Structure 1
Amino acid sequence: MNAITSSPALARARTRWLKGVAADGGRARGSTSLLLLDTGAAIGFATGLAGAVEAVPSIGAMLPWAALMALSGGARGTFAMLATRVGAAGAEHAKLRLRRRIVATSLHRAPGSTATTGTLMNAAVDEVDAIDGYVARFLPARQAGAVAPFLVLAATALASPVAAGILFATLVPFILVMALAGGAAADVSRQQFLALSRLSGRFADRIRALPVVLAFGAEDREAAALGRAADDLARRTMRVLRVAFVSSGALEFFAALSVALVAVYCGFNLLHLLPFPVPEQLDLGRALFVLALAPEFYAPMRRLAAAYHDKQSAETAAERLAALEGERQSPVATVPLPRAAPGIVFDAVTIRYPGEDTAAVSHFSLDIAPGETVALLGPSGSGKSSLLHLLLRLAPLSEGAVRVGGIALAETGGVATIAAWVGQSPLIIAGSIRENLLLACPKASPQDLTRVIHAAGLGPMLARRPLGLDSPIDARGGGLSGGERRRIALARALLKSAPLLLLDEPTAHLDAQAEARLIATICRARAGCTTLIATHSERLAAIANRVIRLGETA
């Protein structure tokens, strides 16, 4: 998967992509509005505090100001809580929409994509989750940070233009420090996120391949490799934390320094000890008002700085997710295929996978009549499976044309809607045998199940199991022989009642007796279907109307 580079044009494209994702949440503006209301409540609290202190000699006069202070304080807590909740809800909605897009992209990638199962799982789970902080915290903080300080500055200027000028003057170095801290954090954050993504993908791939790892005694080697990757991730995470601590310390220093300057000015002004003339003389109320508001001037920017790491993580995830979405096949207007057994024509077809110098299939032509059974016989690498994958749009058509039922394959979007498929490694899901069969037709009746069980020869296997169809099996098909797994796949294919039957090495790795029984089952199942079989087996090929022999290379 190629990541988006950091050139200005592509950085802008990445930002637009992120904004589009955030717009799916639809609640960033609501959270921003609540943060601005929080700033307004802070101004109200400062007003109540100043008024209450000035009115201390009179309890009656102090009560309204105290009430304003209490009301504003309660409002601040309420607005902050609601802003967090609204932001989190918007982020959850945006992630749900994005995760659906990524899963759909994973299922409709262009043929030849190099993304592994672990990479796709990590993209759909961890990398989508990296968008959470961007939508829930960073976007509202950035939008509020562009307005809230100036609201505070305007309120401060009403009480003390000089104090407002001090705050404004200290804003420039504060922004410079934020920019420098952000730049320093960007690279280390990106490297840490990429290391996390690689580790997650590798771990998922090794779990998926665990039987092979154990069979070859490679568990110690793989565990050591994962340990090294985890240590590298830990080192990168510590770099991120170091940069975050240093940048946070610098930001806090400048914020505290700015507040201190305002406090010194107010104190010396009240005591008439300023060494230079100023066009104002503060009273206690205005001085307290300014002092109470000074920290609020920097609060939105400190909130933004705290969420900056969320931005970096989201941008790194956006590079990978946008690149993954770029691998999705463009939707095409599809022409529905007839439900009758179709004829299939391969006309000078060439299949070349991306990144490969040689073609998997070159200039292959074949005309299959409706209802005919054709066996593609040849050694590994001759292109048998690629031709079946081409019909399912799992392999790229580089040259030539394919027509199914007289309709160009490019206009159909593939034959999946009318095809029953049995692959080399039948898919088994964790659950019961019944659930595995019903993948093809969830609403199948008990009579339909009985029919395909008999047709696929599953009766003897089910009779040996106390729970029959409800017998549990794990995702690896534990407890099932190779022939039984293939019979389940074949029964599932028959349950679809499709007019096109595609079989990819259905008898591979079976002993002679099991192969003979499965061949007899396939011979019955192909009735009324156009059938295309890719196989090494001469015995299976013998049931076909025609045998097409492919060479060492296609």
Structure 2
Amino acid sequence: MASMTAHGVLDPRQRAWLRAAAKPGDPALQLAGVWLIVDVLAAIGFAGGLARALALLPQGLAASAPWLVLAAVSLASRGLLSGLSARAGARAAAEIKAQARRQAVGALIDRAPDDGRSAGERMTAAVEGVEALDGYFARFAPARFAAVVAPLLAIAAVAFASPVSAGILLATLPPFVVGMALAGLAAADASRKQFQALARLSGLFLDRVRALPLILAFQAEEAQSGRLARSADNLAERTISVLRIAFLSTGVMEFFAALSVALVAVYCGFNLLGLLPFPVPETLDLQRAFFALALAPEVYAPMRRLAAAYHDRQLAEAAVPALSEPVSVTRPTAKAVLATAPAIRFEAVRVVYPDTDRPVFDGFDLDLPAGSFTALTGASGAGKSTLLHLLLHLAPLTDGEVLVDDRPMAEVGDLAPMIAWVGQTPLIAAGTLADNIALARRNATRAEIAEVAERVGLTGALAARPDGLDAWIDERGGGLSGGERRRLALARALLKPAPILLLDEPTANLDPEAAERLLPVIAEAARGRTTLAATHSEALAALADRRVRL
């Protein structure tokens, strides 16, 4: 993970990332803070109405009634303002988390495999790390915005009634802020260590699940269970440590707030009774004393709200290093859109994967004329899929050149948006059948989806389901046969207006009859596109304009 300073404070790059992450929700964040500031004005109205009503009570209830109404309206509006602030903060946090999650998942997909973190740690950053931002933006950021202005507004209001009481409140603010800062520094380091422990435990658990057959084969269940238990205990201890500091900091804040209010209460009481042992430049009456005393807790309410949300800040800042790490992205951005099927040429291509010394290809040449259908055949491991992956930027081009319409692929940019892909194991997402087909083109109409479903021969699957295209399928594709899954992938290829079609063993593991029924659909999908198919099927290779054996 990216480093933090000795006390767990974010470095400038991480703080810049946090500020940049807040941009999608900036208007809602500011609105949430404004509602909290307006809440202080409502508190002033409540204290003023109550104090005035108390002063006029000897003249009868009729004289006090308007002021009691003001106090009641102010009190009701405080609840409304708190709700508005919470709603605006939640909306801002949702927008920010959605953007951060898209970036984190994109980085997870495109990240180089040698970034030093396990898959579990990277997944924890994308899931738990993004979720840790919720409290920071929903509660802490609005509270921090309000805490700068709201206490001073309340103190200014108190100063109109009792300058000495305002001076007491102003003098007790610095210890409150210092105590909160010291507790925050202690909590930051504990939160960072707790998040790191969570990431390590997630990575360890995922790695052990992957290695479960080996663990069982070598009878290492007990040793690995013990290691997982120790890691879980370590995480629990660190979590308790974070909570202990959080409770301690809350206690410190409450102590200073109670002490300040008590000082104001003692001063107002002794001033009313004329028992102050030292001279003061004011003499309070009941109305002014009651107003100052009623408003004194409101001076610390924004600070206490900030202190209560301070733990949310520590959780977010503990997660930021994992979210803000530089990403080694191998996929370039798209720079051009191909309107027609392009000619593709591999020139002296050399491919060497990072974990091997032996090249998959060395000096490989291949021409794919525009609109042609080329079948790649050969033994498993000959490099058929690697050529497809080169066009998707999923394989490293160590040397040589891949030209698209006589332009280097690096100049053309990311080809993925211009490629329709049909693989051995089509992706199935939890949702309706129509939703799964529309993954290829989100803005496709219902009629277009129904048309491609019929063209690829999914009518049987639709007829067997009462809901047709609205039939729900889980992420495992429950209820879809192997042939139906391939047809779904071909429906996506037909739906996507892509000039390039890549097929990776589209008929593998299917019975001969099912594979035979797919061939006309594949031929239709390839029409008018530059098509490259990796296959062991002689029947599929026979559809191609030419065959290249690797």
For normalisation by structure 1, the TM-score amounts to 0.78
Question: How far off its partner does 1:357 sit?
Answer: 6.4
* 1:296 maps onto 2:298 in alignment: yes
Task: Say which SS state the counterpart of residue 293 (structure 2) adopts.
Answer: helix
CA distance, structure 1, for counterparts of residue 77 and residue 478 of structure 2: 60
- Structure 1 gaps of 5+ residues are 550-554
Q: 2:250 aligns with which of 232, 239, 248?
A: 248
Query: Partner of 1:46 in structure 2?
Result: 47
Task: Say which SS state the counterpart of residue 373 (structure 1) adopts.
Answer: strand
User: Could you list the per-position Cα deviations for residues 404-435 of structure 1 after superposition, in whole angstroms to 9, with x for gaps in the alignment?
Assistant: 23232223334445544333433344568787
Question: Could you say if the C-alpha distance between residues 129 and 400 of structure 1 is closer, same or farther in structure 2, counting changes exceeding 3 Å?
Answer: same
Question: Could you say if the C-alpha distance between residues 290 and 467 of structure 1 is closer, same or farther in structure 2, counting changes exceeding 3 Å?
Answer: closer
Q: Which amino acid is 1:128 matched to? A: V
- Structure 2 gaps of 5+ residues are none
Question: Could you say if the C-alpha distance between residues 324 and 444 of structure 1 is closer, same or farther in structure 2, counting changes exceeding 3 Å?
Answer: farther
Question: Could you say if the C-alpha distance between residues 252 and 465 of structure 1 is closer, same or farther in structure 2, counting changes exceeding 3 Å?
Answer: same
Query: Partner of 1:267 in structure 2?
Result: 269
Question: How far off its partner does 1:42 sit?
Answer: 1.7
Q: Which amino acid is 1:410 matched to? A: A
Query: Partner of 1:131 in structure 2?
Result: 133
Query: Partner of 2:91 in structure 1?
Result: 89
Query: Partner of 1:399 in structure 2?
Result: 399
Q: Is the 8 A contact 2:486 2:506 kept in 1?
A: yes
CA distance, structure 2, for counterparts of residue 18 and residue 164 of structure 1: 36
Question: How far off its partner does 1:142 sit?
Answer: 0.5
Q: Is the 8 A contact 1:377 1:548 kept in 2?
A: yes
CA distance, structure 2, for counterparts of residue 520 and residue 236 of structure 1: 59
Q: CA RMSD in A?
A: 4.6
Task: Say which SS state the counterpart of residue 145 (structure 1) adopts.
Answer: helix
Q: Is the 8 A contact 2:158 2:166 kept in 1?
A: yes
CA distance, structure 1, for counterparts of residue 88 and residue 500 of structure 2: 51
Question: Could you say if the C-alpha distance between residues 452 and 234 of structure 1 is closer, same or farther in structure 2, counting changes exceeding 3 Å?
Answer: same
Question: Could you say if the C-alpha distance between residues 436 and 167 of structure 1 is closer, same or farther in structure 2, counting changes exceeding 3 Å?
Answer: closer
Task: Say which SS state the counterpart of residue 394 (structure 1) adopts.
Answer: coil
* 1:27 maps onto 2:47 in alignment: no
Query: Partner of 1:182 in structure 2?
Result: 184
Question: Could you say if the C-alpha distance between residues 419 and 332 of structure 1 is closer, same or farther in structure 2, counting changes exceeding 3 Å?
Answer: closer
* 1:389 maps onto 2:392 in alignment: no
Question: How far off its partner does 1:146 sit?
Answer: 0.6
Question: How far off its partner does 1:197 sit?
Answer: 5.5
Question: Could you say if the C-alpha distance between residues 537 and 6 of structure 1 is closer, same or farther in structure 2, counting changes exceeding 3 Å?
Answer: farther
Task: Say which SS state the counterpart of residue 57 (structure 2) adopts.
Answer: coil
Write out aligned runs for 1:126-275 (5 A): 126-196=128-198, 232-275=234-277
Q: Is the 8 A contact 2:9 2:188 kept in 1?
A: no
Q: Which amino acid is 2:378 matched to? A: L
Query: Partner of 1:504 in structure 2?
Result: 504
Question: Could you say if the C-alpha distance between residues 69 and 362 of structure 1 is closer, same or farther in structure 2, counting changes exceeding 3 Å?
Answer: same
Query: Partner of 2:38 in structure 1?
Result: 37
Task: Say which SS state the counterpart of residue 427 (structure 1) adopts.
Answer: coil
CA distance, structure 1, for counterparts of residue 330 and residue 130 of structure 2: 17
CA distance, structure 2, for counterparts of residue 169 and residue 369 of structure 1: 79
More deviation in 262-271 or 443-452? 443-452
For normalisation by structure 2, the TM-score amounts to 0.78
Identity %: 50
More deviation in 210-219 or 252-261? 210-219
CA distance, structure 2, for counterparts of residue 193 and residue 451 of structure 1: 51
Q: Is the 8 A contact 1:36 1:148 kept in 2?
A: yes
Q: Is the 8 A contact 2:187 2:242 kept in 1?
A: yes
CA distance, structure 1, for counterparts of residue 303 and residue 461 of structure 2: 70
* 1:14 maps onto 2:18 in alignment: no
User: Could you list the per-position Cα deviations for residues 493-540 of structure 1 after superposition, in whole angstroms to 9, with x for gaps in the alignment?
Assistant: 4676866443334565678x6798599779967677654344578998
